Chain A
Amino acid sequence: MPQTLSPELSELQQRIQAHAREVGLDFFDIVYEVLDWEEINEVAAFGGYPARYPHWRFGMEYIELSRSYAYGLSKIYEMVINNDPTYAYLLAANHHVDQKLVMAHVCGHGDFFKHNFMFAGTNRKMLDEMANHASRVRRYMERHGAEAVESFLDRCLSIENLIDYSAVTGYAQRMAVEGEEEEEGGRSTEPRRLKAKNYMDPFINPPAALAAERERRAAAEHREPRSVPEQPVRDILLFLQEHAPLERWQRDVLGIVREEAYYFAPQGRTKIMNEGWASYWHSRLMTERLLDPSEIIDYADHHSGTMATGPRRLNPYKVGIELWRDIEERWDKGRYGSDWTSCDDFAARERWDTGEMRGQEKIFEVRRHYNDVTFIDEFLTPDFVRRQGLFTFDYDKRAGRYVISDRDFAAVKERLLFMLTNFGQPSIDLVDANFLNRGELLLVHRYEGIPLKLDEALETLENLQAIWKRPVNLETDVDDEPVVLSYDGTEHRSEEALVDRA
């Protein structure tokens, strides 16, 4: 059971939040829950929420977390969810100094959630919403059988990344449920007649108006675009939710998966900024204001543990905190603008300091208006890449291992941006829902030189087919040849791409 905060921790929370507000952070109320390690693993497996719909992958996550905790490989220090009030969890067994560190860190996240534009459209009552989702899915399981609902969930989760990650700020478009029936009526050219008694009918439904309406509808019918959808659709989940032949509960489950995918998307798209921001502030709050001398060693140990880098893993905490510090320093010293960029003199650059001291102002501005892509695009500098020792690596097929492929600034930046754009997911559009005039789906993978993992792609097609019920096709590149992969419910086919859709 979650324990209420002890007086000691509660006093600590007040003190830390007072300091955080003094330095300019602004956040919703923060509610801490103290959990033991089993509970915290459970909550972590649920993605930070106390309740999620029943699904085996949470169990898988839990087993993995518990095992890696038991082996001492990992320990969850902090977990915080974007909600109003903001919920955060403390591990009961943590030392006092760790709780301090976590609380300071959480203030950073809370500020970021509240102010970064990506989160502006997220549901701040997601905690309740998730619980609603859970109870709805549970109800469907009781009514339609756990197996049926679970396997449908599996299919939905298999395509959960087919949403529009570029859609601003997580406003998930709502499905047009209300309009649905009306639209079906609208298919016929016969105008709707209002109910009327016989003798009143010519007045209530005047023949002239009816004729005009009939004409309008007929004309609209002719104008109706031949292709559905009219434009390529990135938010494929929404399209399926609206148009796939699903039962009511399936539509709802698909909607739940989509809504949660949109809710989590901003966090994925601001990982570097968000973790960097929280780390920057815990570091400043701890070292400038909160630490007892006796705690400094433990703090340094844990902080550096969080910042550890590996040769093949870009630590978002590390890159983030360093970038924030770099921005602050550059705007403190006026190291930006055309004068600075056009200056080639190494010594002059070393000494460069206009004494502007606009660093603080700048970082608060940046945390509001940027996401990881724009953040890296604008603030990653050649100096920074060199100082941090960033490089790109690729798989060397002949040697059978990964090797460092480039240390050049442009290459690193390009690779980083590529990994961040569309959230590191392949860009896939729904181009035609009536492909070959046979009601088949045609998806197009906007190929950017990196092939899809083929075995998974085929399985995903099967899931997609199970939702759409008609054959599904995916245009992509396999071995640098454009192909159309098709699945019709019984067998996979692969053909050379016929249509050039460049």
Chain B
Amino acid sequence: MVRRIERDRRRFEDIVRGKIKQDLSRHITQSELIGKQGDEIVSIPLPQIELPQFRYGPREQGGVGQGPGEVGDPVSSGGGEPSGAGDQPGTHIREVELSITEMTKLIGEALELPRIEPKGAESLKSVKGRYTGIRKVGPETLRSFRRTYREALKRQIASGNYDPRRPMVVPVREDMRYRSWRDEYLPVANAVIFYLMDVSGSMANEQKEIVRIQSFWIDNWIRSHYDGVVSRYIIHDAQAREVDRDIFFSTRESGGTRISSAYRLGAEIAEQEHPAEDWNLYFFHFSDGDNLGSGDNERCFDLLRERLLPMANLFGYGQVESRAGTGAFHGALAANIEADNLVLSKIPDRDGIVGSIRELLGTGK
């Protein structure tokens, strides 16, 4: 039986999803979310879901309490108020629980991100049989003993041939039941995501935090479209090296910036370990756009044109604004390279993350 409350519960959850979408930028830029796995549940505080009324503010009203203490002593919330009440009795900050997977879906809906069509999807599909039902004909190896027995039992009881004292059940041809299957086409699409980040002196903590948040959601979005996703992390200042995820997000180095070093390393790893025939390749490069000299820019363009763009599904360049940087690389890329799998985006601050995600993933590639 469906409970009456179910309808109300579902409706409430729809409203919650709507609220989250409305205020997506604030919710997904919460650093605490980052690092959670897809099925992990996160709590999202949602004020203002209560119906508004003319009422007193709790702080102005005060109240009457009970217990020991001198005049002037602070009163802790304690007692009947469960967690989360903080210093605001009466205002319910409701926590809504969602999994990261659901959040990612919400982002997709809110930003109207197109689904990613894996490259060469046709050829990559594999056929897999799945038992989906029961039928009356089939090979003996697939005979369902239980179903057959049940049919036979039914028939015998119906025709009065069944004697509970001598419970013998003999199936005839019509009782036979066999499992049936359907072919399912499963895409075996694999993807590798290269994150490249500029860790030169001009990338401060805030810039890195932005990169961290944005790459987290990009990662989740792409993961939700592929079976297996591998992430590779490359940091660079004047030189590039591959690091693991933790180091990627925590390193602070000083020094100059030579973007081409990272592009070259990325291209090398991709060519050796993730050939484009077998992999969907994604590159996301985050930098403040302050490259060392125009000579290096030229090298970058060459690498992009000749090696990276031909094999990549998508090459996203996100430029995090920083006070120190000139941010010239964005313009240089835009002026020099034209390719429909190269997407450029600027991220002025945390609030710009949502817009940037939309730009980078809006192509559906």
Q: Which residues of A contact B (CB under 8 A)?
A: 1, 38-39, 42, 45-46, 50-51, 54-60, 62-64, 68, 73-74, 150, 154, 157-162, 308-315, 318-319, 388-396, 399-407, 412, 415-416, 419, 424-426, 428, 445, 450-457, 459-460, 463, 474
Contact = CB atoms under 8 A, between A and B. Distances in A.
Contacts of A158: 51-53
A215 to B, nearest CB: 46
Given A54-B7, A154-B51, A311-B79, A392 B64 contact: yes
Interface size class of B (residues with CB under 8 A): 35 or more
A55 B13 CA distance: 12
A51 B67 CA distance: 40
B26 interface: no
Given A393-B62, A451-B56, A401 B8 contact: no
B53 A391 contact: no
Nearest to B15: A56
Contacts, number: 202
Interface string B213-232: 00000000000000000000
B87 interface: yes
B52 A460 contact: yes
Interface in B263-285: none
Q: Chain B: interface secondary structure? A: loop
Nearest to A1: B1
Contacts of B172: none
Contact of B66 (A74, A314, A452): A314
Contact of B81 (A313, A394, A454): A313
B79 A312 contact: yes
A29 B73 CA distance: 49
B167 interface: no
B72 A312 contact: no
27 contacts: A38-B3, A42-B3, A42-B4, A55-B8, A56-B11, A62-B5, A63-B12, A73-B83, A74-B82, A150-B11, A158-B52, A161-B53, A311-B79, A314-B64, A314-B65, A314-B66, A389-B67, A391-B64, A393-B75, A395-B58, A401-B87, A403-B75, A407-B71, A416-B64, A425-B54, A428-B54, A454-B57
Task: Enumerate the 9 nearest inter-chain pairs by beta-carbon distance, A residue then B residue, closest first.
Answer: A310-B79, A59-B8, A59-B12, A459-B52, A59-B9, A394-B62, A456-B52, A56-B12, A395-B59
A461 B12 CA distance: 23
Contacts of A416: 64
Contacts of B15: 56
B27 interface: no
Contacts of A51: 4
B76 A452 contact: no
B80 interface: yes
Contacts of B60: 395, 450-451
Contacts of A454: 57
B65 A157 contact: no
Contacts of A159: 53-54
B51 to A, nearest CB: 5
A60 B94 contact: yes
B80 A419 contact: no
B3 A426 contact: no
B160 interface: no
